[in-house]
Structure 1
């Protein structure tokens, strides 16, 4: 194990709340900080007892993450002696500061993280190569020829509609021009 010369670690413990997926966050936790704690000679089970006494509550799972890092990218499980050794290595090699996140509800945290990473990757992959260099134009001109076709409106056979139709026989534009002027 790689330890600092002092052998102490500062930890921020986040507890009494829950992880929330999409977006993945640890929602509104309570926080306590412990500075200069010597964990070199503490075993994993002793560390769990220490944390339970510190937060005055039992918990199911715990995770660690370097401080000032996005938890979705850097959150790691802390579930046995092997993970505990990795936790200590990471903590001591990164400025002797690390964060611990307590899961009180036994959620599937690591699965949520993987699902969110996959969804983020899919949204980036949806961009078509042709769309990358696409430039949107404000002015779009369409060249077309004037339509010389005259549309005749047939007389309605329905009595109700024939009374409502103000246009007698003839072209539509002649009738409309007469009423407007």
Structure 2
């Protein structure tokens, strides 16, 4: 059964959105504050879901105009620590490392002919390489060499997972990043 979380899309301030949506907003906001250090939040997106093995998985992605700051929190699986243990991690990606932004919307028509967006998938292709392994059956290219893949950040929302408001906010975030990629950083 899918978990239903409060809608963060009406909140334009990161602090309010995180407190409404995340299970552990204090941990996330404290970790982000240590990196942001007064930088202006131009846009953000949030994600949260329940994994059958690990429990709650949470993510915040913030754009400050020159970089993306990602916080990720995840419950540890049973046996990897005392009950209630979780990981908290940060990743900072310079916008200059984003080489491509893709946004795919799935549109449907209502009975009255209105077009509606019922899902969105966004990817940010990075100049860094993803970890890969090569060998028989492990992703080797046809010539036997390793398969090289660029690292990517992926985000998605649907009407069932987030609703129309979060779909719209993720699309706004993709447009913001798209407008900044490739511009000189001053």
Whether TM exceeds 0.5 here: the answer is no
Structure with the larger helix share: 1
Q: Provide TM-score, normalisation by structure 1.
A: 0.23
Q: Provide TM-score, normalisation by structure 2.
A: 0.22
Report which of the two structures shows the higher radius of gyration computed on alpha carbons.
1
Structure with the larger strand share: 2
